[in-house]
Structures are given as structure tokens and as C-alpha cells.
Structure 1
Amino acid sequence: MAEVKTAPRNKVPLGQKAAFGAGHLINNLIPGLLGVFVFILKTEAFGMDPALAGLIVGIPRLFDAITDPVMGYVSDNTSSKYGRRRPYIFIGAIFTGIVFAILWQVNENNTEMFNFWYLLIFSILLIFGNTIFSTPLIALGYEMTSDYKERTRLMSFANTIGQLAWMLVPFLYLLLPNKDLFSDTPAAVRTIALIAGAIIILLGVLPAFFCRGIDSSNMEGREDITFKSVLNSMGKIFQGIKLVLKNKPFVKLCVATFLVFNGYQIVAEFGLFIIAFYLFNGDFGEAGLWMTLFPAVTAAFTAFIAIPIINWMANKWGKKNAFIYATAISIIGYTLKWWGFDPDNVYMIFLPIPLMAFGMGCLFTLMMSMTADVCDLDELENGMPRKEGTFGAIYWWMIKVGQGIALVTSGFILKGLGYDSEASTQTASAIMGMRITDIALPVITAALAIWVMWKYSLSEERAREIKAELVERRGEL
């Protein structure tokens, strides 16, 4: 089809893109920090059983199955002079920051089970706060522009800023054991958690102040939101979920996201263990720099090279094709890790990064843009109110469940492979098992995701037809 230029009214100002990106940075910072701190729990610093450490972040995800859809429903039906989303983003950022700081004030001298229950209870509270923050934030991004290509540009910009978290968090592997800065690693965890809590609050409130969604003042079909009405509307909430899950393009997006994200996240820490125990024989002092550089350089390449290329691919060949091509490229990258982790030449560690980066780079850039298109399709088929909150809740729930499953599963896999959290070195069979799993799992899940998306039907031409029908029906929002 002929190229259609974005109308000025549909372009998102740079300041709003930056504020939305700040929210994405927080959404990445929280799981990034959790990943590092849970990794520390499994080392000699705390010596926690890896299976227990995984359950600490895995069990709270079960609560998301209820809280995320409820928050999506509440956000969709809210009426206030500040909009449907922004009040919750503001409150959620503050609550999340405070809980995160308290969560990691944990002492290594406590019993293992005391620390387990302390961390589990506050992790559940953290999930609750993050739901209040992230569900409306994602929904807000879906409605900041109605233009097919501007949605991809917005998500590309936000995802680039979000990658800053993954560039910076790995440097904690150097900071945490630094005896010149902290008395010991557990003390470092407690201090960093306090600083992180403040950052979550300061950056998390920016979308609430600066981002603008659609004008919902004339939107029909919304419910009055009170605590009692929400409890009485649980049937309507799950009816809305059923409608969303009947949307075949959206289900494909969710399944593909679950596959790619889970495959990557389950083995995310395996690479760090392989660096420490395969390349440096358990010497964390020597391995620390490389444990930092590998994920940090991957994030930098994702942000500044892969995402701009993916954005170009989406504009040139469409979002579905861009996803398929980028995911196929990442499969080659994952395979190259077999030769990249070489004890005789540690610099080979950078070999797979340029191709691996396309996997996660395309995921949130394209899938969130495509979910915004799906929201238009839902309005066309099911009418008002628009359900960006419900779509965002279910999509983000898939991501958070993926994080939880990944952290739980990785702990059990490590244990099954023979990893010993209290040992300074690991057996050859445990290391070999980690190396094989580190490559095979993301390759398989990425290939399955390509298969799922192969017949995705919502093209640019169809998306523009849907938008035109909606504008004719109810005017511009």
C-alpha cells in the first residue's frame, strides 16, 4: 500500500515520549534489580537454596492473575480530571518505591526460612504496588497516539530508554562485593535497595505528570468505580477478559511474548554462572567485570543498534515480518554462545551479542505497538468503553508471569543440573548442563514464537481501515 504520513495531531511530543520511557525504565529496573538480588541470595553471601530463592519471586506472580485484570478494569472505567491512568501511576510509583526499599532490608544472619517468609510477604506487596503502577502505564502508552507507525516509534523510543536499566543494573555485580564501599555484600544489597526505592519514586511519577492519553470525557459505557462496585463487578471483569481472549491477534501476541520472554529469562542468569564457573573457575573477583559487561553490552546494543533497525524493518516490511526476521536473527545469536563462551579467549563473549540483541529488542518494541492496534479492533467489534487497561493488564501479566516462572524454573533447573549454591566451584557435568540449556531453551521458544506469529492477520492496511471505521462511527478521540 502507498505510504501514509503521520498527521501532526497523532505525533507524540518528545517530552511525553521521554516521560513514558521513564516509566518503562522503572518497569525494567525492578525485575533487573530483583534478578541481581535473587542471584546474590543463591551465592555464598546468603547461601539460600536456589529453589526457595526462585519461589520468592515466583509465588507472588499468582496474585497477578487477579490483581492485574482488576486494575485494568478500574483504570478503563475511571473518570477524573487527571484522566483514567495518571492518578494510579502516581500512587503506584510511590507505593512500589517504598515497598522495594523495605523488601531488601534482609539480614544474612537470620535463619533461611525467616528470610524466605520475610522476602515472600514483601514481594507480594511489591507485586501489588507494581500492578497499580504498570497496568495503567502500559494502557496509557496504547492510547497516546492512534497512528499505526507512530505507535511503533513511541514504543521504540520508550524501549530504548527502558534498556538503560539493563545497561546499568549489571554494574551491581562489581559494586556489591566492593569492600571499599560496603562492609559486605548483604550490607550492599540493603543500601542499594534504599537508593533504588527513591529512584523508582522519582522517575515513576514522571508519566503521571507529563503524558497525555485520549480524551475520555465523552467515552460511553463506563462503570462507576467504588470499592463496592468493583467487588460487585467481578463477573463483568472476567466477562471483559473473555472478550479480550477471543481476540485471536491478541492471543497470538501474548503466546509469542510468553515464549520469547520466558525462553530468554529462564536462562538469563545461566550466562552469569557460566562466566563465573566455566570461564573463571568460580573466581567471582576475576569474573565480576565480565559478568557486568556481557548483559550491559547486550542492553546497549539492543537500545542503540537493534531497536532502530527493528523500527526501520517494521516501517519497511510491517510489524509481523519485522518480528519474524528479528527473532530468527536472535536464534543465530543464541547458537553462537556455544563458541562465545571460551575459557581460552574471554573476548569471544561478545560474539553472540549483536544477533542476540534482536530478540528482546523486537519483543516490547513491536508487540506493544501491535497490542495498541488490537485495542482498535476490539472497539470495532465490541464497542465502548475502550479496554486498553484490560489488554495492558493481560499482556503485562503474561510478562510478569514469565518473569516469575523463569525465576522459579531456573532455580529448579539449576538444582537439577547439580548446581551447589554453597560451593566455590561447580562440577563439569553441572557446567555442561547449564551451557546446553542456556542455548537450547531460548532457541526452541523463539522458533515456536515465529510459528505462532506466522499467520498474524492485523496488517497496516487492515489497521488503517479499522481506524477509519472508528473515526466515522464516533469521531476522533
Structure 2
Amino acid sequence: MATLVKSRKGKVPLGQKAAFGAGHLVNNLIPGILGVFVVILKSADGFGMDTVLAGLIVGIPRLFDALTDPVMGYISDNTSSRFGRRRPYILTGAILSGIIFTILWQVHGDADHMFNFWYLLIFSILLVFGNTIFSTPLIALGYEMTSDYKERTRLMSFANTIGQVAWMLVPFLYVLIPDTNFFENQPEGVRTIAIISGLVIILLGVMPAIFCRGIDASKMEGREDVSFKGVLNSFGKIFSGIKVVLKNKPFVKLCIATFLVFNGFQIVAEFGVFIINFYMFDGDWGASKWWVALFPAVTAAYTAFIAIPIINWMANKYGKRKAFIIATFISVIGYVLKWWGFDPENYYMIFLPIPLMAFGMGCLFTLMMSMTADVCDLDELNNGMPRKEGTFGAIYWWMIKVGQGIALVFSGVILKVLGYDPESTTQTAESLTGMRITDIALPVITALLAIWVMKTYSLDEKRAQEIKEELVRRRGEL
């Protein structure tokens, strides 16, 4: 039995919270900027690529996460170094992610579409590997930074608030990149922004590796050899560990609910751009670009500074499960209000659904990541050492990333079925009506299904505290 010298502190210092939040900012910047670039890929003024091909560029690489995320989780769980189990990988992954992201988008609009497709696909797959080395240990580190039930929610709230800064800034790329005062054309804008973004990814990404601290795992027993040969020989154990994790019923509920809410949103995420531009402004990008940027930016700001603090309060007052159900239902009402919010006669109505809609994504990573940390304690209680934060984090984010990839592929397919023409500056009335209905109906349905899944989630504060006390007794902590 492992004996840890001293127990983990309940409070996480502000500096460590900020550094952990910087890592979350990187985790949001990468998909956020990718989302803008993919819209430009499909735009007649950008690359004019077929919507299905553009969807495959971001969808296919996510399937590689099915292998890389669990392996990286296993490696970081079993690593033993004087710098901890997670931090060396976070540092390496941040540098790789920034470099590969820069190279990925050095493409030209006048190049052959199939050449661009294969170039982007190959480097997108490489980006998955770099990002996995960074993000999987980062998420695991967050799970072990505190053992306090409520402090876990406060930590994730703080990190998610910083992470929302990405969604406040990224939408303004829709304004910046088409501006001929800055760039000769949109592909040039993409190349330049990619270089700047790569540097930012590296600078912010190394902060958790430098400043954050996890548990003292120096005396943790039961770990495997993490050499290349050892990992190859341990593939059976890796997937046996995954099987054990997937027997954890509360964790499976968290994964299913997250998959539903996040990917219901992701499938239609870019629909709002097209609805604002083509429905509200009749295809005039010059007139619509500020509104295209303001809608997600204001949503992110409201999420960060209003929704997340309220969600944090609800979680500590009523429990994490009830807070998730309440916040998700509030978001459903917000999604429905989008029907009246996207009004070509009154542009300011676009802000109508934001105060309610923001609760959906705001609660998702704040509460679900906090609850996953609780689940890691339950796993240690049932299955012993070593703790599997890396494996839990890998599977949780694998669900998100693979789901996101599938969502982006389906997004392109749905747009094509609805009649969207990437080479046209206007769209048919039937196509726009289909987009508007799908933009509301899909996230509403998936959110309601997630609420149904979480109704029977059983790991509340009382049970979490009982588990914590038993683990402290077993470890012989002071």
C-alpha cells in the first residue's frame, strides 16, 4: 500500500489556478482558431473548399485520439520523475503543438484543392499527437491539484473563466482576416494568424508545467515501466485499465452527458456564422462581420463573468448534479430564443438568447471536470493504486475530441444536405430555414437527453467526503 507523506492541501494558490487556466486557454484557442479557419476554408472569399472535404480535415484526425489519448493517459499515470507525473509532458506538448499549428496553416488559396486537403489532413493528424501530449496530462494534473470537493469546482470555474477569453478573442478573426488593410486576401491572413497563434500556444502552454503542482507521487506503488518497450508490452494493460474505468458508472454518465451537450452544440457551431451573414445580412460579409464576431464574443464574456460564478454558487449550494441539470435546462430556453434573436429587422435582438444559452457550455466543463476528479477518488477506493487521473482524463477528452471530429464531419454533411453552396455569395430561403431549425433543434434535443442521463448520477458531496476520509485512512496521510 502506498504511503504518502502528507495530504494534499484543500486550497489551490491563485498563481497555480492562473497557470492551470492558461493551459485551458490554449485548449480553447486551438479548436477556436481551427473553427474560424475551417469556415474560411468553406468560404468563397477564402479557399472555397467543398464542405465535406473541410469537415474531413478536422474530423478524421480526431479518430486518432482513440489510440493516442488513452496511451498518453497511461504513460503520465505511470511516470516517475523529479518533475512529477504530468509536467514534463505538458512542457513538451505545448512546444510541439505551437510549432505544428504554425506549419499546418501555411497553405495558399490558389493551390489545388486536393493538394490543400492532403496537406491539411496530414498536419492535422500530427497536431493531434502534439496536442495529446499537452492536453491529456494537463487535464489529469487539474484532477489532482486538490482533494477538496468544493475547491475542485472553484478550480475548474477559475480555469474555465480564463479559458473563455479564447472565445472572446477568436471571433474577431472574422473581422480581422477579411480586412484588406491588414491582409491582401484571406488565405494570407490565415497564414499570418497561424504564426502568431503558434507563439501564443507555446508561451501560455508552458505555464502549467512551470507553476502548477500535483500530488506527491514519489512513493506511489503499482506503476508500470514507461519506456517505449514497456509501453508496447503494456498495451493489454492499457486497455484493461480502460475497461476498469468504463465500469465506473458515475464516470460513464459524465462522459455520455458531456458528449451529448458538447457535440450537440459543435455540430451547429458554425451555423450561426452563416445564419447571421446570409439570413440577416443577405451574404454581405462586410456588413455582417462585426455581428459574426460579437455574438460568440459576448456569449463567452457573459459565460465567464456571469454564468460560471452563478454555476459555481449553485454547485456549492445545491450540489454539482442539480447545478448541471438546472444550468442545462436554462440553456435549452436560450437555444429556443435564437429563433427570435436572429432578426434581420432588428440586429440587436441577436443578444436576446445569450444570457440563458451561456449556462449550457458554462456548466459543462466547470462541473463535469470537477465531478471527474471526484470519480478518480472513487476509482482509487475500488481499485487501489496507482491513481488513474491520466486515464480518466484521456477517456473523457477522447469522448469530446472524437465527438467533435464526428460533429464537424456531420456539420459539413448537414450543410450540404440543406443546400449550402460554398461558392455562392447568397443562399436559398429553404437552405437558411433548414439551418435555423437545425441550429435550435439539435442542441435542445441533446441537452434534454443529457439532463435525463444525469438524473441518476449518484456521487454527491456526502459520498465524496466519505470516500476521501477512507482514502486518507488507507494511505496513512497526516
TM-score tier, shorter chain, comes to: over 0.9
The Cα of 1:399 is off from its aligned counterpart by 1.2
Aligned partner of 1:333: which letter?
G
State the partner residue of 2:373. Answer: 372
Residue 290 (structure 1) aligned with residue 291 (structure 2): yes
Which secondary structure state, in structure 2, belongs to the residue aligned with residue 344 of structure 1?
coil
Residue 184 (structure 1) aligned with residue 185 (structure 2): yes
Aligned partner of 2:22: which letter?
A
State the partner residue of 1:22. Answer: 22
Aligned partner of 1:37: which letter?
F
Aligned partner of 1:348: which letter?
M
Which string of whole-angstrom CA distances, capped at 9 and with x for unpartnered residues, describes residues 205-247 of structure 1? 0000000000001111001210000000000000000000000
2: CA distance, partners of 1:265 / 1:354: 19
State the partner residue of 2:39. Answer: 39
State the partner residue of 1:237. Answer: 238
Which string of whole-angstrom CA distances, capped at 9 and with x for unpartnered residues, describes residues 365-421 of structure 1? 000000000000000000000000000000011111122112111000000000000
Q: Identify unmatched segments of 5+ residues in structure 1.
A: 1-6
State the partner residue of 1:337. Answer: 338
1:21-420 paired onto structure 2 within 5 Å: 21-44=21-44, 45-420=46-421
State the partner residue of 2:3. Answer: none
Aligned partner of 2:35: which letter?
G
2: CA distance, partners of 1:140 / 1:151: 12
The Cα of 1:8 is off from its aligned counterpart by 9.6
The Cα of 1:349 is off from its aligned counterpart by 0.2
Which string of whole-angstrom CA distances, capped at 9 and with x for unpartnered residues, describes residues 413-439 of structure 1? 000000000001000000000000000
Aligned partner of 1:468: which letter?
E
2: CA distance, partners of 1:8 / 1:254: 26
Which secondary structure state, in structure 1, belongs to the residue aligned with residue 380 of structure 2?
helix
TM-score (ref. length: structure 2) = 0.98
State the partner residue of 2:462. Answer: 461
The Cα of 1:156 is off from its aligned counterpart by 0.1
Which secondary structure state, in structure 2, belongs to the residue aligned with residue 10 of structure 1?
coil
Q: Identify unmatched segments of 5+ residues in structure 2.
A: 1-6
Give the aligned CA root-mean-square deviation in angstroms: 0.9
1: CA distance, partners of 2:49 / 2:60: 17
Aligned partner of 1:59: which letter?
I
TM-score (ref. length: structure 1) = 0.98
1:440 to 1:383, Cα distance in 2 relative to 1, 3 A: same
Which secondary structure state, in structure 1, belongs to the residue aligned with residue 239 of structure 2?
helix
The Cα of 1:24 is off from its aligned counterpart by 0.1
The Cα of 1:442 is off from its aligned counterpart by 0.2
Which secondary structure state, in structure 2, belongs to the residue aligned with residue 207 of structure 1?
helix
1: CA distance, partners of 2:297 / 2:403: 21
Which secondary structure state, in structure 2, belongs to the residue aligned with residue 273 of structure 1?
helix
The Cα of 1:9 is off from its aligned counterpart by 2.7
State the partner residue of 1:4. Answer: none
The Cα of 1:69 is off from its aligned counterpart by 0.2
Which secondary structure state, in structure 2, belongs to the residue aligned with residue 9 of structure 1?
coil
1: CA distance, partners of 2:8 / 2:25: 27
Runs of 4+ in structure 1 deviating by more than 2 angstroms, as ranges, are none
State the partner residue of 1:473. Answer: 474
Judge which range, 219-228 or 322-331, deviates more.
219-228
Judge which range, 393-402 or 298-307, deviates more.
393-402
CA contact (8 A) 2:9 2:147 kept: no
CA contact (8 A) 2:49 2:113 kept: yes
State the partner residue of 1:3. Answer: none
2: CA distance, partners of 1:183 / 1:67: 39
Percent of counterpart pairs with the same letter?
Answer: 79
The Cα of 1:110 is off from its aligned counterpart by 1.0
2: CA distance, partners of 1:402 / 1:62: 9
2: CA distance, partners of 1:399 / 1:296: 22
1: CA distance, partners of 2:76 / 2:316: 31
Aligned partner of 2:332: which letter?
I
Which secondary structure state, in structure 1, belongs to the residue aligned with residue 196 of structure 2?
helix
1:81 to 1:8, Cα distance in 2 relative to 1, 3 A: closer
2: CA distance, partners of 1:271 / 1:475: 54
2: CA distance, partners of 1:199 / 1:399: 23
The Cα of 1:109 is off from its aligned counterpart by 1.2
Residue 11 (structure 1) aligned with residue 11 (structure 2): yes
2: CA distance, partners of 1:401 / 1:284: 31
Aligned partner of 1:286: which letter?
A
Aligned partner of 2:369: which letter?
M
1: CA distance, partners of 2:107 / 2:232: 35
Number of paired residues? 471
CA contact (8 A) 2:8 2:146 kept: no
1: CA distance, partners of 2:191 / 2:317: 47
Aligned partner of 1:396: which letter?
W
Aligned partner of 2:32: which letter?
G
CA contact (8 A) 2:8 2:215 kept: no
Aligned partner of 1:200: which letter?
I
1: CA distance, partners of 2:476 / 2:300: 41
The Cα of 1:174 is off from its aligned counterpart by 0.4
2: CA distance, partners of 1:209 / 1:217: 19
Aligned partner of 1:23: which letter?
G
Aligned partner of 2:323: which letter?
A
Aligned partner of 2:21: which letter?
G
2: CA distance, partners of 1:193 / 1:399: 24
Which string of whole-angstrom CA distances, capped at 9 and with x for unpartnered residues, describes residues 41-97 of structure 1? 000111100000000000001110000000000000000000000000000000000
